[in-house]
Chain A
Amino acid sequence: MKVSLNWVKQYTKVNLPVDALVTKIGEQLGAVEEVVEFGKRYEGILIVKVVSSDKHPNADKLHVCLVDDGGKNKQVKRDTKGLIQIVCGAPNVTAGMLAAWIPPGATVPSTIGKDPFVIEAKELRGVVSNGMLASPKELALGDSHGGLLVVDKPAKPGDLFAKAYELDDYIIDIENKMFTHRPDCFGTLGVAREVAGITNQKFASPAWYSQKTRPAEGFGLEMDVKNDLPKLIPRFSAIAMKDITVGPSPLSVQVQLVKAGIRPINNVVDATNYIMLLTAQPVHAYDYDKVKTGILGARLSKKGEELKLLNGKTLKLNDGAVVITDGKKPIGLGGVMGGADTEVDDSTKNIIIECANFDMNLTRKTAMEYGLFTDAVTRFTKGQSPLQTTAVLAELTEKLEKITGGQVASQLVDVKSSSVADNPPVQVSTNFINERLGENLASDKIKLLLENVEFKVAAKGDNLAVTPPFWRTDIEIAEDVVEEVGRLYGYDKLPQILPKRSLIPAGADRLLAFKFQLRDILSGAGANEVLTYSFVNEKLLRSAGQDPAGSYHIKNALSPDLQYYRQSLLPSLLSKVEANSRGGFDEYLIYEIGLVHQQGLVDKDKLPIEFNRLAIVYAANYKNPAAAYYRVKLYVDYLLTERLGIKLRYEPLIGSKFSSEGQSAASAFWPEQSAVIYHQEEPVGIIGLPNSSLKQDLKLPGQTAQVELDLTSLFELAQTKVDYEPLNRFPSTDQDITLRAPAQLSHQELTNFIESQLDKAAMQDGYNFKLKTLDIYQKATDKNHKQTSWRVTLSHPERTLTTDEVNKLLESLALAARDKLKAERV
């Protein structure tokens, strides 16, 4: 909302410097986006009198003028009479007129902020021109380039142009978002009232507004309103005027619009915009003769209807938008934009002015549906008061009579639904207010703060009956009054004290703590934590072998790259590999902790289940992909078994059965080179190499391996207790054992077998043991077998073990292995 400080000053005293006022507005009204010193654009520009205007000796269309600036400019060259010579090409230059002069050294206002053009004294066809006489366009006051701006105010040569037209102004731009619930602050009057309130001054709205004045009525034109939508348009006021002369607005009105960023059009349209800028009430004028029927109707649109709008576009309407009609066909989109067919133009003689109140929610919906975001939409979507329509019409018609020479020519038609009523008082107590502000304000102080902005307050002891003025549609409950009082009083004055609370500890989110723990372990072990988007594209899903239909699909995605929720973390993590591997990182391990979703899997509240996952990718610019697999497996064993105490089992991916979310994760893997990780019978993750299409599509380096783990189940399994063993004062003994076993027996099977044998012995004789794989060897000539060596570390809590005892134990172990596994001790 752009507010002219000069305009505000017409309604309230401002006794602060601009900087201080802007700070105060920020603290007590709303964030200020920008302050523009508008007058700067017009520095040096003076009003001059054209004393003579003669034809240029060398050019048909140019004039050589002598102008009088009252001797104000000190730099310019003058003739003996003190006049200044200027060459001018405008057709309307005449001796005796007052014009705006841009002297040498000044900048043409319309070029400021684009490509600033500084005027110099220079020869035009052999005659020196000391600066230029300016058109409205050059002065950034409209589109008219056809002739000089004619000063239409009493002024004398040498007056500052900016001062004469109140261009020496500050435009304070307050964030619209601030005023989402403040319809009144979309008008200068509303902001002026607040400025008074926060500077502790009593504000009085102009009587025509606060008294809800009705316009003077007249006769001559038949006009009626047929509102079919009393709920959506609680009030529809209209009045007709005749004998209008359409032309440009007085310059002072145009200036007011330009300062607010609105383009002047003609005196009728400008006046409706002017009243909107003042009161926040959007108003629309129709050409009475183009409407033909003299009727303004309001109804919902029907699918297929067409409406040509003021912006030149023709809408094909759907059902359900509010349209203004001539009794039959649409002539405007209610609360949004008028129609082209009934536009006020230079030939217009008679008009109907509509001043209505449109439902904020439907206005928003319509604006979104048709992509029309007008000044009217901005205001109606904040919920304007239906009680201001007649007052606005009264002020507007009076203004239009003066400016256009027209007259009110009908009765006021005012169709009002029964819901339109003054605001009821809100009951609140000083105690209620003070409790919520942490303050101790007296009831008189509260009363004064509210009355300054025209609330009515009836105090009875501690109780206050607070009646908001009719333009405040946002004050409904006691808490709304708290806000108003706190704001007007000043939030910076509130005491800042911490709340008192009991010593009962707050509950902790253990899953969150678990995730933090995982980060600590992984980043402590040389890994790099990565975050990637939760959204992926269709191509990536397909590369990962995931069906896009298994993803939640975003219908208003920013780009096709971000339209699907991910089904597993790995594809997005893998998509970060190529750039890093080419970017100078030869070997690294990245991981991400995040959420994934699977279309159709919902919880008891019918919401998609959120699967907590940890994904790890190892990538290296070396050959030998198998090494990558074992690297990732090492991390899994380190993280889950060594650090979190979870025993794991690895089973081939091929032949494994999956839940649907597990299947989505699994399809990113190369089946023959991957495994499912179990704890007992519970799958906790999948490890392996990326599938061939990921490898190809994402240009993954030679060594890439990956794992995706389900954090929810791991979180339940993780041991918080260390498996402590009492310190043993008897030494332990190391003994190595090597078995030559059939190649198809997995390492896990072999190790499990040895472990189970050692377990048995431990149960019987009370040994403690540890087992470590030392070597896995295969002869080039015998692919049917492999040799695996382990180191067994044995101890006993009560005695020193003898070599003989250990040898016997391993002997029996070897015998069992031969028996059960067909493995020979070597």
Chain B
Amino acid sequence: MTYQDEQVSAIAKKLKSQLDKSEDKRAILRSPELQALYDHLKTLPTGQPRAKFGAEVNALRAELEQLVSQASAPQAKLDPIDITAPFGVNVPPDQRPSLLSADQASRHPLMTEMQQIVDIFERMGFAAIESREIDDDYHMFTSLNFPPDHPARDEYDTFVTDEGLVAPAHTSIMQNRFLKAHKKDLEQGKAIAAVVPGRVFRNEDLDARHEHTFYQLEGIYVDKGINAGHLVATIKTWLSTYFGREVKIKIQPFYFPFTEPSFEFAASCVFCDEAGCNVCSYTGWIELGGCGMIHPNVLKEAGIDAGKYTGFAWGFGIDRLVMLKYDIEDVRHFESGNLKFLRQFK
């Protein structure tokens, strides 16, 4: 690493050579020379010179820390191996590597269900596209009819990076992109139909029912003459296929800035035939997600004539669906990496 500032550069050189010789490597991090740099930093005027010098000093400290930790790690000596060989030298045939037994294999239940869900939608004629894990405010909010500073943004508890980028809180971030890319299809008489599975993030404290990281699937459908009844029928058809039996859907009024009207949708409980059980909290219905008719502002933002075309969108959490399906008691198992959990899902 090279340092632009002469003073920093000189001290870096000195400290590094000291490090090679010294017994107590950590002592270098408490060295008076390094402290002097920090003291000097405080005397600089705020603004550009101070920030620049500060960055250099911090970089030096980081480099030293890394060198110290490298130096203090026990350097076990390993014999060099032929990295291109299929097995080691003099290894008898019965000790050579083989694929592990398929008995102990497993597939992550979230991914398995996602694959199944995507498969159903693809058969219904929806294209699947994956969501992003880092995006800008425009796709998270503005393109979806959330004006800046709009209180509706509060509902999303979004993680924000230093640069003002966001960890998406819904896979609707792909809506504007997909609508824009496919608006030509509409003119050719083809509907826009897509589902977007992906990982989303909410700034929520962890407990058995809440994760800050989870999976969502959003769908959109735009064409001429599309109405709210089409929306309900589409969700109903998908869920009935997924559960392999007739499911009833009910929608309740809700509020989202990107749909008008907006709804929450619930499915009749397939576990008790609406008789009431602990899965549906004895209501006979399971709330699954949100939906609505795409707001004309969202269509307009993508360059689609909202007078001519209408559409619907819906979204739901995959984690919750999987928890219901397998009666999984704790959402935290999903990202735990615990093989006791994972190996139950072959």
Contact = CB atoms under 8 A, between A and B. Distances in A.
Interface in A566-603: 573, 575-576, 579-580, 583, 585, 587-590, 595, 597
B83 A525 contact: no
Interface string B90-116: 110101111111111111101100010
Nearest to A30: B253
Contacts of A499: 191, 221, 223, 226, 230, 233-234
Contacts of B194: 506
A30 B264 CA distance: 9
Contacts of A553: 161-162
A815 B226 CA distance: 76
Contacts of A626: 78-79, 81, 88
A556 B164 CA distance: 11
A259 interface: no
A538 to B, nearest CB: 10
A181 interface: yes
A791 B51 CA distance: 65
B16 interface: no
Q: Could you tell me the dominant secondary structure of chain A's interface residues?
A: mixed
Given A436-B293, A477-B296, A627 B95 contact: yes
B132 interface: yes
A382 B340 CA distance: 48
B228 interface: yes
B275 interface: no
Interface in B15-43: none
B254 A178 contact: yes
B149 A675 contact: no
Given A437-B229, A630-B85, A527 B105 contact: yes
A607 B164 CA distance: 11
Given A436-B293, A532-B337, A364 B255 contact: no
A177 B255 contact: yes
B89 A382 contact: no
A381 to B, nearest CB: 4
Interface string B49-68: 00000000000001001100
Contact of A531 (B110, B159, B193, B197): B110
B337 A580 contact: yes
A498 B162 contact: no
Interface string B153-196: 01100011111010100000000000000000000011101100
Interface stretch (A57-65, A214-222, A508-516): A508-516
Given A506-B125, A516-B115, A542-B65, A530 B342 contact: yes
A361 B293 contact: no
Interface in A295-321: none
Contact of A777 (B90, B126, B340): B90
Given A479-B295, A508-B122, A512-B118, A364 B213 contact: no
A365 interface: yes
Given A479-B295, A552-B165, A631-B97, A180 B130 contact: no
B291 to A, nearest CB: 11
A613 to B, nearest CB: 12
Nearest to A377: B151
B80 interface: yes
A6 interface: no
A437 B225 CA distance: 10
Given A525-B105, A526-B99, A556-B159, A498 B88 contact: no
Interface residues of B, number: 121
Interface stretch (B3-11, B133-141, B323-331): B133-141
Interface string B232-243: 111011000000
Q: Which of B83, B105, B191, B343 has the most CB of A within 10 A?
A: B83
B85 A747 contact: yes
A496 interface: yes
B76 interface: yes
A580 B339 contact: yes
Contacts of B223: 499, 501
Contact of A675 (B75, B83, B89, B197): B83
Q: Which of A28, A29, A597 has the most CB of B within 10 A?
A: A597
Interface string B289-333: 000010110000000000000100000000000000000000000
B127 A509 contact: yes
Contacts of A502: 189-191
B310 A435 contact: yes
B117 interface: no
Contact of A530 (B108, B162, B293): B108
A608 B343 contact: no
B201 to A, nearest CB: 7
B254 A30 contact: yes
A542 B66 contact: yes
Given A547-B62, A552-B165, A501 B125 contact: yes
Given A502-B189, A565-B134, A595-B133, A436 B227 contact: yes
A200 interface: no
A715 to B, nearest CB: 12
Given A526-B99, A531-B334, A556 B203 contact: yes
B129 interface: yes
A627 B86 contact: no
Contacts of A748: 84-85
A179 interface: yes
A630 B97 contact: yes
A554 interface: yes
A530 B223 CA distance: 39
Contacts of B342: 528-530
Contact of B96 (A361, A368, A630): A630
Contacts of B206: 558
A539 B80 CA distance: 29
A583 B340 contact: yes
A497 B127 contact: no
The 5 lowest CB-CB distance pairs between A and B, nearest first, are: A576-B337, A526-B100, A438-B229, A748-B84, A483-B261
24 contacts: A30-B252, A182-B255, A365-B149, A479-B296, A487-B253, A491-B263, A499-B223, A499-B230, A499-B234, A502-B189, A523-B106, A525-B100, A558-B205, A576-B337, A625-B78, A626-B79, A633-B86, A670-B78, A673-B78, A675-B83, A692-B74, A773-B87, A776-B89, A776-B91
Given A483-B253, A776-B87, 12 more contacts: A360-B151, A381-B151, A437-B227, A506-B193, A509-B128, A532-B337, A552-B161, A558-B212, A610-B132, A635-B99, A638-B99, A776-B85
